[in-house]
Structure 1
Amino acid sequence: MNPLLRAEQAVLGSVLLDPGQLPHLDWLAPDHFNRPVHRALFAALRKLRADGHPALAADGTVPLSWVTDAVDEAVLHVRGLTPVYAHTLVSACPRPEHAPAYGRMVLEGAIHRSIAQHAVRLHQAARADALRGEVEEALHHADVLSRVLDDLARRWGAEPRPVAPAAQPVTAPAAPPPTVRTDHVAEDEGFLLAVLAEQPRAMDQVVGWLRPGDFADPAHGQLYRCLGALHHRGEPIDRITLLWQAQRRGLLADGTLSDDQVTALCDGVGSGSAEWLGEQVMRSSVSRAAAASARAIRGLAENKALSSGQLINHALYALGPLDDVRTRWQIANGWPAATPTAQAPSPTGPPPARVHAALARSTPRLVSPSSARTGSVAAPAVTRPPSRGHS
């Protein structure tokens, strides 16, 4: 039996033994329990308390009706719960007065589970967008995940701020890239490089927001880096200067590029809109960044050794690369950068006293607004301008 299951049983057992523990668990919600039976039973216990069950006024021995009425209420919403299992829960609780500590364990398990689920949704949206050549769904789910992290931080009583993990997290295995779009992405990148080599002034259209890391093909990214270096120094761009720049960077010696690749690039068509092609490259970059952030966050959420505060802060840090790509995507589309606005804590959030009970800390901590995130780019407004489509 895993520790989380034992903690859920201990919470329910403590309340069945002592209804007076319920006021100390107001910050704990039925959805925080993993098992449906446990969710239904905890919801039933809270309902009995709201209805003023006689057991709440009992002095000393708790009447058996407290247990039987809770089971009768819970079975209206879930199957498989019996009075026998309710008594099993009672025996699973070492000390009823430790209910807040058990509840903290349940909340921590719910935080890990919720973050993992939202990371999976973000990864699925990123792959779907990659197939369609879009970015809207991935960015939407990234916003949802960011808000979830801020909300969970407030519930946990921690300050949400991006913190790099001490060790590189073990990410979930990367799914194979969508083959339907792979060829199109490589073609767009090749056409863009050909245009930039044929029309050096076209670099001015993309140099402000397109980066070498935005290219799916590392060789294309290195070629773009060479073009950028020549452009930055104001040197002429042609087959010879580009080949010389690649050699100076050691790209020919290590096999990253070859003479034939550079020649083929410079002998390409070279006609087209660098801005439009650059936007296509950025679309692919946004999808890849979203998928990479999702895999990293999922790997963090599956690490049970991380505390909830560490997990939340590491997950915010893992969203940083996506925030950077998103900002440059907005610049490429001519959208104004979002201005972070201070948000007051939700009035329905847990008060400091209950956060103190949940975390079993000596003193309650003030919860900072969700806008207190530092080191990452603010998410765009909920209402987004329509994407610039090209056909």
Structure 2
Amino acid sequence: MPHTPDTPDITEDDDLDRVRAALQPVHYAEQALLGALLLDPQRLADTTTLTAGHFDNHNHATLFTAIRTLPTPDPADHAKDAAWLTKVLEHARPKSRSLSSSYLHSLIQFCPQPKHAAAYARMIRADHARRTLSLHAERLALTATDPAGPDTTAATLAHADTLARLLDDLAGQFAPHPGSLPRTPPAPTAARHGGEEDLYEERCLLATATAYPAEVAQMRWLAAEDFIWPLHATLWQCITALVHRGDMVDPVTVLSEAQHRGLITDTLTSRDLIALISTPAASPEYWGENVLRRALLARAHTVATRITTYTDDLANTPHQLITGSRRALADLNSLRTRWHHATSPALATRSAQASATAAPRAGPPPATTPPAVRLSR
């Protein structure tokens, strides 16, 4: 195998990430392709779908731009002298000053088979797809956890749409193959954690739902999995079970349902539970929408993390990345559908009216504060 060319000296155009990238297979694919094109410029016809933007290394992208920009030399003339190579270097040097004539000749010597240029180009495009998908997943994760955004939910869903369009575009570029699922083992789902405001709003929802069960019947868009605390999730199931059976709903009947589900313990007494669900405020839809919003953003972050896990695994092909990422987005879309039901115009109007009478979200709790109960996560 020819000696691997030394990467040009690091300049302002390169950073540590680029140096680490030199250890990745795509770095050698870029070197092999450039060597093939420098040795046989006619091979440029095998790279019609490739652009400089697909390259991971800045110097390599600059060289490719120069090769594509300059007129292709006559094969006979190119075999006799290095005039065209000199022109390529002169064209690329203003944007990549670390390039040298010796590096260009090293690229030529490194290329195993110039006739394999199309294969090298496919490798470069595949890695570019992986990096692009990783970047979009990172943006989705950052947006979903940005508390300073003017409308974090809308921005998160917009990024999810952008990610979906990217996957559609990539699906048209890479052919499917057997074994389409990612090889990467699924990462365990991280437990959600909430603050005092989250705790207060979930408790307000449970108390208000107990007081106004008729409205709960219209809240099929909210699921137990949307709650942060398992205790609250089970209490929501108690309330909705009573509502859907047509039974009477009040703190005592909810207590009975909770008893049958094994919630009453030394830690959570009957008195504690009744106090927890006996302080209604505003409307169930108002608090339910807040709970669902947090669940939606948490799901978006989980989906982004899962996609990043796929892209970090170099064993996955583009088709596997596309399939795995689409399945991950499907998990977000299922919750997104429920969010759209919750925020339909009719419900949004009632929620806005309820918010006007709701207690301050970040302020002190109501006068009859539910007792402090140890909540398992």
Identify the residue that residue 358 of structure 1 maps to in structure 2. none
Post-superposition CA distance 1:125-160 (Å, at most 9, x none): 00015877730111111111111111122122349x
Post-superposition CA distance 1:39-87 (Å, at most 9, x none): 1111111111xxx34x155477264122221121112223321111111
Q: Which moved more, 1:11-20 or 1:126-135?
A: 126-135
Q: Secondary structure of 2:146's partner?
A: helix
Provide the alpha-carbon RMSD of the alignment: 2.9
Q: Secondary structure of 1:135's partner?
A: helix
Counterpart residue identity of residue 142, structure 1: A
Identify the residue that residue 200 of structure 1 maps to in structure 2. 213
Mapping of residues 170-181 of structure 1, within 5 Å: 170=187
The answer to whether the aligner puts 1:238 opposite 2:254 as a matched pair is: no
Post-superposition CA distance 1:261-291 (Å, at most 9, x none): 52222222x1312112111112111111110
- What CA distance in whole angstroms lies between the structure 2 residues aligned with 1:88 and 1:121? 38
Identify the residue that residue 88 of structure 2 maps to in structure 1. 70
Q: Secondary structure of 2:217's partner?
A: helix
The answer to whether the aligner puts 1:286 opposite 2:299 as a matched pair is: no
The alpha-carbon distance between structure 1 residues 141 and 105, as it changes in their structure 2 partners (threshold 3 A), is same
Identify the residue that residue 45 of structure 2 maps to in structure 1. 23
The answer to whether the aligner puts 1:126 opposite 2:130 as a matched pair is: no
Structure 2 residues not aligned, in runs of 5+: 1-22, 357-377
The alpha-carbon distance between structure 1 residues 183 and 164, as it changes in their structure 2 partners (threshold 3 A), is farther
Tell me if structure 2 keeps the 8 A contact 1:18–1:62.
Answer: no
Q: CA deviation at 1:167?
A: 6.2
Post-superposition CA distance 1:223-275 (Å, at most 9, x none): 111111111111112233222322333444798x654552222222x131211
Structure 1 residues not aligned, in runs of 5+: 337-386
Q: CA deviation at 1:174?
A: 6.3
Counterpart residue identity of residue 278, structure 2: D
Of residues 38, 47, 52 in structure 1, which corresponds to 2:60?
A: 38
The alpha-carbon distance between structure 1 residues 210 and 84, as it changes in their structure 2 partners (threshold 3 A), is same
Counterpart residue identity of residue 284, structure 1: R
The answer to whether the aligner puts 1:154 opposite 2:172 as a matched pair is: yes
Identify the residue that residue 81 of structure 1 maps to in structure 2. 99
State the identity as a percent: 35
The alpha-carbon distance between structure 1 residues 113 and 175, as it changes in their structure 2 partners (threshold 3 A), is farther
- What CA distance in whole angstroms lies between the structure 2 residues aligned with 1:164 and 1:304? 14
Q: Which moved more, 1:276-285 or 1:302-311?
A: 276-285
Taking CA–CA contacts closer than 8 Å with sequence separation of 6 or more, which of the two structures ends up with the larger relative contact order? 1
Tell me if structure 1 keeps the 8 A contact 2:213–2:243.
Answer: yes
Of residues 77, 86, 96 in structure 1, which corresponds to 2:114?
A: 96
Mapping of residues 342-361 of structure 1, within 5 Å: none
Counterpart residue identity of residue 162, structure 2: V
Post-superposition CA distance 1:193-251 (Å, at most 9, x none): 10011221121242x21111111222211211111111111111223322232233344
The answer to whether the aligner puts 1:318 opposite 2:328 as a matched pair is: yes
Tell me if structure 2 keeps the 8 A contact 1:120–1:294.
Answer: yes
Identify the residue that residue 267 of structure 1 maps to in structure 2. 278
Tell me if structure 2 keeps the 8 A contact 1:20–1:56.
Answer: no
The answer to whether the aligner puts 1:105 opposite 2:123 as a matched pair is: yes
Post-superposition CA distance 1:336-375 (Å, at most 9, x none): 9xxxxxxxxxxxxxxxxxxxxxxxxxxxxxxxxxxxxxxx
Tell me if structure 2 keeps the 8 A contact 1:129–1:135.
Answer: no
Counterpart residue identity of residue 146, structure 1: A
Identify the residue that residue 191 of structure 1 maps to in structure 2. 204
Tell me if structure 2 keeps the 8 A contact 1:123–1:291.
Answer: yes
The answer to whether the aligner puts 1:214 opposite 2:223 as a matched pair is: no
Q: CA deviation at 1:321?
A: 1.5
The alpha-carbon distance between structure 1 residues 267 and 164, as it changes in their structure 2 partners (threshold 3 A), is farther
- What CA distance in whole angstroms lies between the structure 2 residues aligned with 1:265 and 1:70? 75
- What CA distance in whole angstroms lies between the structure 1 residues aligned with 2:274 and 2:89? 77
Identify the residue that residue 349 of structure 1 maps to in structure 2. none
Post-superposition CA distance 1:306-348 (Å, at most 9, x none): 1110011101101111111111111111169xxxxxxxxxxxx
Aligned residues: 327
- What CA distance in whole angstroms lies between the structure 2 residues aligned with 1:22 and 1:174? 48
- What CA distance in whole angstroms lies between the structure 1 residues aligned with 2:79 and 2:302? 56
Q: TM-score, normalised by structure 2?
A: 0.79
- What CA distance in whole angstroms lies between the structure 1 residues aligned with 2:50 and 2:310? 23
- What CA distance in whole angstroms lies between the structure 2 residues aligned with 1:221 and 1:194? 13
Q: TM-score, normalised by structure 1?
A: 0.76
- What CA distance in whole angstroms lies between the structure 2 residues aligned with 1:157 and 1:335? 42
The alpha-carbon distance between structure 1 residues 302 and 260, as it changes in their structure 2 partners (threshold 3 A), is farther
Q: Secondary structure of 1:61's partner?
A: helix
- What CA distance in whole angstroms lies between the structure 2 residues aligned with 1:90 and 1:300? 34
